[in-house]
Every structure is written in C-alpha cells, then in structure tokens.
C-alpha cells in the first residue's frame, strides 16, 4: 500500500465527510434550537433532490435548481413546523420524533405517487463534469465543487449565528426559550425560521447528492441514519460537533475501504457506539 493511495484515500474521506456534514447540519440545528428530532430529515433530503431536478428541468439550468429547491423545501419545512410540529411543543420530546417518523412514510409514498418508483437521471452539470488530477490521483470535479459549496454554507451559517442579531437571539433561545419570551422575543417565529433553515439544508444536501447518485424515493433512508450517526457522535445540537464528526466518519469509512471496504457501513455504527460509551453526550455535546 503506497503513500499516494493513502493520501487520495484520505482526500476521498474528507470529500465524503463534506456530504455527511451537510446532511447532518440541518438535523443538528433543528435539534439544538427546538429540541426536535426530525425523523423526516432523510425524506426531505430526497424531496430536495426531486425539487432540484424539477426546477432544473423547468429552467434548463442546474444552478437554478441548486438555488431555488432548498428555499422551496425550506418553506415547505416551515409549513410542517407550523402545521404539525408546533402543536406538540410542551408535550413529550418523543412526540415530534414519532410524528416526523410517520411523516417520512407519507412523504416517500407521495413522491412515489407523483414521480413513480423508478429512479430518475440527474445529469451532472456540464461545467462540472470530468475528473481533475490532484497529483496523488484523479477526482471528479463535481465532488470538488460539493466540498466548496459545503465550505461556503458553513461559513455563511457561522457568520449568521455569530455576527448577526438574529444569530444572537437563536443562540440565546436554544439556551433558555422562557427568558427570551420574558424579554419580549417572539420565539415562535425564530423556531419557525430555524426549522425552515434546517429543512432547507437537508434539501440542499439532496440537490448536491443528486448528480452523484440516482434520484429515487428511497435515497433518503440511509441518509437519515448517516445524519443521525454524525450528529450523535458530534453531540446533538452542536454545529461544530456535526462538522468534526462528519469529517471523522468520512475518513473512518475511507480508511476502512483500504482493507475491508465491506465494513463501510458498520464502521459508522461502531464509531458511534464507541464514542457514546466514552462520552455519553457525544464529542461536543452540552451537559444536561
């Protein structure tokens, strides 16, 4: 096993991790602020891919799909929060989880009814096809683009949370919603928006994944599990945790691929079990 292979493998791991990060972030944001475990996250990821494909085929441009679909699905997410999740605040934490679990059934089946059971081709945008020589090996240009998009989104999120007034409210709201209410902040509106952003991120992940995978109704089911594993390893609600854990899981999978690629899925769960046994709240989890 030469050094070049290990290097390219490391790079593949980081690239795979970038995709895991984007799928996990939305889940983590929603949990961090609202305390809601969104079991429909995978289904919304899948719907994002379909929406991206739909917009792209209407406008003839992948870029419109990339821009519009996450917003569209984000608004749809707000509708879900307002209509279905909001009535459950104040009840058991399990209730939103169970509701979104049922919702994922409905969403997947609705897509099957509208778009059929077959997968649909999602061509890679022509500007981003082909492979680039990284010196240590070849890598698809589109996947490099995905890494860039994820990095930009992370930066924007960080700026929005750390440098704006809205970010301040969100961060404070996640600590103590009651105090925020006392201070006269309409926390319901903040939650609505946060849920929308979280769902929008899931949809963005779906659009980005579309050209790498086939778009089909079942594409979200494994994504949900992956996103859970990443957020739990990182610590639920911790954005930094999601980023670190996403990259960690990506690299763990790519390194496993060097000697036992068939263990690619199991290594994820093993890592999660291991982390939780040592740190029951994940790497960056807050104490209760």
Subset of 84-103 contacting other proteins (CB under 8 A): 84, 87-88, 90-95, 97-99, 101-103
Question: Does residue number 35 form part of the binding site for other proteins (CB under 8 A)?
Answer: yes
Stretch that binds other proteins, among 135-143, 160-168, 175-183, 199-207 (CB under 8 A): 135-143
DSSP letter (8 states) at residue 139: E
Question: Does residue number 127 form part of the binding site for other proteins (CB under 8 A)?
Answer: no
Is the C-alpha dihedral spanning 204, 208, 214, 219 positive or negative? Answer: negative
Question: Does residue number 257 form part of the binding site for other proteins (CB under 8 A)?
Answer: yes
Nearer to other proteins, 37 or 192 (CB): 37
Nearest distance, CB of residue 63 and other proteins, angstroms: 19
The CA distance from 216 to 275, in Å, is 32
The CA distance from 9 to 124, in Å, is 23
Stretch that binds other proteins, among 44-52, 150-158, 191-199, 275-283 (CB under 8 A): 275-283
Question: Does residue number 175 form part of the binding site for other proteins (CB under 8 A)?
Answer: no
Nearest distance, CB of residue 148 and other proteins, angstroms: 16
245-278: burial string, b at 16+ Cβ within 10 Å, e else: bbbbbbbbbbebbeeeeeeeeebbeebbeebeee
Nearer to other proteins, 145 or 158 (CB): 145
Nearer to other proteins, 63 or 123 (CB): 123
Nearest distance, CB of residue 222 and other proteins, angstroms: 6
Longest pairwise C-alpha distance within the chain: 62
CA dihedral of 92, 98, 100, 103, whole degrees rounded to 10: -140
Stretch that binds other proteins, among 66-74, 149-157, 162-170, 219-227 (CB under 8 A): 219-227
The CA distance from 285 to 288, in Å, is 9
The CA distance from 133 to 159, in Å, is 33
Nearer to other proteins, 33 or 37 (CB): 37
């Amino acid at each position: 096993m030469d050094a070049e292979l290990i290097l390219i493998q490391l790079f593949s791991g980081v690239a795979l991790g970038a995709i895991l990060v984007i799928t996990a972030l939305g889940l983590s944001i929603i949990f961090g602020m609202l305390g809601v475990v969104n079991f429909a996250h995978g289904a919304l990821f899948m719907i994002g891919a379909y929406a991206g494909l739909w917009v792209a085929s209407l406008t003839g441009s992948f870029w419109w799909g990339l821009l519009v679909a996450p917003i569209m699905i984000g608004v749809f997410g707000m509708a879900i929060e307002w209509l279905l999740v909001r009535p459950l605040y104040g009840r058991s934490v399990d209730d939103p989880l169970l509701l979104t679990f049922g919702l994922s059934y409905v969403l997947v089946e609705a897509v099957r009814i509208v778009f059929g059971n077959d997968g649909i081709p999602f061509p890679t945008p022509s500007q981003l096809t082909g492979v680039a020589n990284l010196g240590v090996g070849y890598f698809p240009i589109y996947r490099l683009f995905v890494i860039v998009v994820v990095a930009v989104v992370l930066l924007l999120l960080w700026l929005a949370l750390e440098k704006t007034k809205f970010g301040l409210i969100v961060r404070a709201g996640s600590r103590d919603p009651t105090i925020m209410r006392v201070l006269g902040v309409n926390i319901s509106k903040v939650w609505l928006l946060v849920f929308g952003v979280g769902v929008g991120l899931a949809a963005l992940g779906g659009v980005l994944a579309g050209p790498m995978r086939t778009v089909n109704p079942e594409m979200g089911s494994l994504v949900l599990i992956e996103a859970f594993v990443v957020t739990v390893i990182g610590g639920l609600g911790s954005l930094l945790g999601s980023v670190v854990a996403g990259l960690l899981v990506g690299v763990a999978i790519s390194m496993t691929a060097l000697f036992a690629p068939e263990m690619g899925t199991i290594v994820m769960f093993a890592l999660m079990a291991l982390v939780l046994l040592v740190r029951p709240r994940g790497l960056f989890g807050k104490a209760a």
